Structure 1
Amino acid sequence: MITIKSASIIVPSEPTPNGILWLSESDQMMQCSHEPLISIYKPNNNNDDIILPFSSETMKVSLSRALVHYYPLAGRLRSADGGRFELVCNAMGAKLLEAYSEAEVADLGDFAPTEAHQDLVPKIDYRTPIEEWPLLLVQLTRFRCGGFCVGTAICHTVVDGWSAGTFISSWAKLARGDDLRPDEIPFHDRTLLRSRQPVMPPRFDHREFSKPPLVIGSLDAKAEQKKKTSVALLKVSRKQVEGLQKTTNEILDDQTNLVKPIRPYSQYEAIASHIWRCACKARAGDDRQPTRVRIAVDVRNRMKPPLPRRYFGNAVFITVTSTCLYGELLSKPLSYAAGIIREAAERMTDEYIRSALDFMTSQEQVGSLRINFSVQGNTEALSFPGNPNLVIPSWVKLPLYGTDFGWGKPVYVGPGMLTVEGKSLIMSSPASDGSLIVALCLQTQCMDSFKKFFYEDMI
């Protein structure tokens, strides 16, 4: 049981730029809903670090200071022509809630983002006009045992995962009493991702904007959307990660000799391939069932020239694998799936990205494209990302576990909820020992089988 004790609006502590901040097409493609994140802190971490007492006033003052640098988060969205949005920098502020829970941190179990954890994240009433929605909401929940949860909800139109992570890390640094270095100040000019003028015709077949495959025999995904889902957190040890990578990189040639790929498959490629194959097995579909995976690619270092390191906004582009069949994935080695995933990511070159920007800019109504990228529970049937498909982003490189507000590092950082079937997340473990955590939402009827295959098929 969580009780909301107070609610306040936090505005920047100093004057900030006013007016319209141009949103890139990559911003426009992201849903305008808020991505929930929870950071859990246990009381009195048993270490030699100096642990500061929790102070809601410190959290408010430091957030106010952070919003000076991250002033777009204190603004509001408004609708524009063609289904687009505008970001109005007006310093209306972020919403901060203070809450108390009778539970203890230990009662949260393995922190799987089930319905029981949704109360740790602030809620947004999407029935109200969009101009009234705070772009940043924070909920500070204190547990009976003395632990804390910092739950944030940040509008995805405004930031990607990296930007959200750097904001929270900067806020934490200010809360500890430190100042931001010049190289830690966010970069707000999003015109670096503006399409070329005049807009050129796309130079590629942008399959990422096409509709995903359906279950064989279905005309839409409505039946799949209605099926009950379950959420799980699956721990993968460093040894298991290394074993999967070893298996992925053992490729048989036509003479059944072991050969090595020109460039070894990465940790992500190995884990994502394993998740894909296990989902195909657990779903137990026809061998002729088509399937594909949606992947998020950070393009900061793929652009020419690269985007500034502290680029604040959506520099993530969505790509999809080529469509293949269950039978192909399950009858061939893990390297087959890894190769398909690699091809999808490597497609995102500077030229391809700029072609995608041209394609998006040329659309009179971007809403029809945005629907295909949406991962909300109320998506239309045609945009459903689940069965027989998957969404597998990685949070491994996001700056999440450094968020020390003065109480020590969090014992867990992860999604506040995961409600869309077929969506998974690959995350770092708080142990920082090379192990990983896979968060997964799957149809309940498939979850036990998935877990069985997930661990049995590892070496």
Structure 2
Amino acid sequence: MITFKSTSLIVPSEATPNGLLPLSEIDQAMQWTHAPLIIIYKPNNNKTIPFSIEKMKYSLSRALVHYYPLAGRLHWIEGGRLELHCNAMGVQLSEAYSEAELDEFGDFTPNGLIQHLFPRIDYTTTSIEEQPLFLVQVTRFPCGGLCVGTAISHIMADGRAAMNFTNAWAKLARGEELGCDEMPFHDRTMLRSRQAPPVRPLSDHIAFTKPPLLIGCSDTKAEQKKETSAALLKVTKEQVEELQKKANQNMVMPARPYTRYEAVAGHIWRCACKVRAGDNCQPTRALLVADIRNRIKPPLPQGYFGNAIFDALTSTCLYADLLSKPLSYASGKLREAIEAVTDEYITSALDFIASQKDVGPLRKNFHIRGYTEAPFLGNPNVYMGSWISLPLYNVDFGWGKPVYVGPGILHSDGKMFIMRDPADEGSLVIALCLQTQCMDSFKEFFYKDIYDL
């Protein structure tokens, strides 16, 4: 289906700083695999997209002058930690052609077919010291459409930092220059522990505690073996407004109204509990992600390039409460979790990570010498990330804005991303993964309960 024409290593077009760049404590706790993203472009009015692989290569090499850490390599050090060598070894760019038409990929649900559109690394045979930190695959389709599939190291950047880089590359590809306010900030010591090393013992931090198990189970092995399916669900502007209305019905004013994310995510959590049909006394938690750029003191520069996100965990709730109480209950629990990520919460978490002799158990990959799946966050729990505020649809390489941007892979039960719908202002798209046995019921309840709650 996919034929590769070329694969190149792209290095910075000018000399860049050489040496070690200290990673933050948050970087050290991140998964060391790569996050895949697909960016889809279609020709406008049957006009041919003015694509040039040489322009893509040259603009990428120029972007790496500013984002030079991406051209480096990671190395293992003591305690399961990593260090970054800024050595300009380069990133990988591949040009590919698809025999299948773009329309054959449907709505770009992150399933097996979509995985042909982004670069992959065999983590079992390639050492981390050899792995590029950013890989891109540009796939051309018979219709003239394009897919820019990227994979960026989780250690290097969170979603906002990754999109800042991708948009900077696209701007250079358009022949424009980067402004002073678009330059990345590379000092990651701002998110290091403020105690070196911590002088006091630290108990387990809530961000690293294990989520509840199914009643009667001592581990997650049986649930992890169950088949999963991915889906993309569209939520219209009217449906979003209806959920916000319901979430805010029981709010004691003058409290700040629940956002569309809080309302939609609360609804998702309830529906997941409903289709999993567990005991009413089943405990469950939701894992969210908080951007801490403006939560830590002093605030981080907006151009901070690295990981500036932190897990926000709800308190443990019961199925019975989530399903019997109004939507405001679930939305309120989500808000409480996000608001708990304060400067004190963040600094205590940084101290906790720094205090660990081995950070391997904290990382999203438990086995640091070989690739493993991320820790199981599924049944009876959910992970709901918000991509609503990310500048996903600003990525214009000179071909116009993309028609779709979304995750390249989603295979962990209970994991979901809430994104903007580019075709309909105010509408949302939810990329989700659930056990296959639950998916059809989830879709039914999700839409039906918007109006029946």
TM range (shorter): over 0.9
2:344 alignment counterpart: 351
Of 423, 428, 436, the match for 2:415 = 423
For the pair 1:323 / 2:322, whether they are aligned, the reply is: no
SS at match of 1:392: strand
SS at match of 2:234: strand
SS at match of 1:53: coil
SS at match of 1:385: coil
Query: What's the CA shift for 1:212?
Result: 1.1
2:143 alignment counterpart: 145
For residues 271-296 of structure 1, the C-alpha deviation after alignment (integer angstroms, 9 at most, x for no partner) is 11000000000111111111101111
Of 170, 192, 195, the match for 2:193 = 195
2:395 alignment counterpart: 403
Q: TM-score, normalised by structure 1?
A: 0.94
Inter-CA distance 201–322: structure 2 relative to 1 (3 Å threshold): farther
The whole-number CA distance in structure 2 between the counterparts of 1:288 and 1:379 is: 29
Query: What's the CA shift for 1:260?
Result: 3.6
2:122 alignment counterpart: 125
For residues 318-359 of structure 1, the C-alpha deviation after alignment (integer angstroms, 9 at most, x for no partner) is 121111111110010011011111111101111111111111
The whole-number CA distance in structure 2 between the counterparts of 1:79 and 1:153 is: 21
The whole-number CA distance in structure 1 between the counterparts of 2:220 and 2:203 is: 28
User: Contact (CA 8 Å) 1:3, 1:100: kept in 2 or not?
Assistant: yes
User: Contact (CA 8 Å) 1:418, 1:440: kept in 2 or not?
Assistant: yes
For the pair 1:158 / 2:156, whether they are aligned, the reply is: yes
SS at match of 1:115: coil
The whole-number CA distance in structure 2 between the counterparts of 1:225 and 1:260 is: 43
1:4 alignment counterpart: 4
The whole-number CA distance in structure 1 between the counterparts of 2:48 and 2:176 is: 15
- Counting only pairs closer than 5 Å after superposition, residues 48-87 of structure 1 correspond to structure 2 as 53-87=50-84
- Counting only pairs closer than 5 Å after superposition, residues 167-246 of structure 1 correspond to structure 2 as 167-198=165-196, 199=198, 201=200, 206-246=205-245
2:404 alignment counterpart: 412
1:379 alignment counterpart: 373
For the pair 1:101 / 2:98, whether they are aligned, the reply is: yes
Superposed structure 1 runs of 4+ greater than 3 Å apart: 200-205, 371-374, 376-380
Inter-CA distance 274–145: structure 2 relative to 1 (3 Å threshold): same
User: Contact (CA 8 Å) 1:422, 1:441: kept in 2 or not?
Assistant: yes
For the pair 1:436 / 2:428, whether they are aligned, the reply is: yes
Query: What's the CA shift for 1:205?
Result: 6.3
User: Contact (CA 8 Å) 2:64, 2:70: kept in 1 or not?
Assistant: yes
Q: TM-score, normalised by structure 2?
A: 0.95
- Counting only pairs closer than 5 Å after superposition, residues 228-377 of structure 1 correspond to structure 2 as 228-251=227-250, 259-260=252-253, 262-371=255-364
For residues 5-40 of structure 1, the C-alpha deviation after alignment (integer angstroms, 9 at most, x for no partner) is 111100000001111110001111110000000000
User: Contact (CA 8 Å) 1:297, 1:345: kept in 2 or not?
Assistant: yes
User: Contact (CA 8 Å) 1:396, 1:426: kept in 2 or not?
Assistant: yes
The whole-number CA distance in structure 2 between the counterparts of 1:183 and 1:5 is: 37
SS at match of 2:450: coil
The whole-number CA distance in structure 1 between the counterparts of 2:418 and 2:366 is: 19
The whole-number CA distance in structure 2 between the counterparts of 1:200 and 1:68 is: 39
User: Contact (CA 8 Å) 1:30, 1:373: kept in 2 or not?
Assistant: no
Query: What's the CA shift for 1:379?
Result: 3.3
The letter for the 2-side match of 1:458 is I
Q: Decide which moves more: 121-130 or 144-153.
A: 121-130
User: Contact (CA 8 Å) 1:211, 1:372: kept in 2 or not?
Assistant: no
The whole-number CA distance in structure 2 between the counterparts of 1:373 and 1:278 is: 30
CA RMSD of aligned residues (A): 1.8
Inter-CA distance 377–278: structure 2 relative to 1 (3 Å threshold): farther
For the pair 1:88 / 2:88, whether they are aligned, the reply is: no
Q: Which runs of 5+ in 1 are unaligned?
A: 253-258
The whole-number CA distance in structure 2 between the counterparts of 1:290 and 1:185 is: 45
The whole-number CA distance in structure 2 between the counterparts of 1:377 and 1:11 is: 27
User: Contact (CA 8 Å) 1:26, 1:314: kept in 2 or not?
Assistant: yes
For residues 96-147 of structure 1, the C-alpha deviation after alignment (integer angstroms, 9 at most, x for no partner) is 1110001122111111111000010101121221100000000000001110
For the pair 1:46 / 2:45, whether they are aligned, the reply is: yes
Q: Decide which moves more: 340-349 or 426-435.
A: 426-435
Aligned residues: 447
The whole-number CA distance in structure 2 between the counterparts of 1:377 and 1:449 is: 33
The whole-number CA distance in structure 2 between the counterparts of 1:373 and 1:46 is: 49
The letter for the 1-side match of 2:6 is S
Inter-CA distance 123–151: structure 2 relative to 1 (3 Å threshold): same
For residues 391-414 of structure 1, the C-alpha deviation after alignment (integer angstroms, 9 at most, x for no partner) is 101011111100010111100000
The whole-number CA distance in structure 2 between the counterparts of 1:83 and 1:205 is: 18
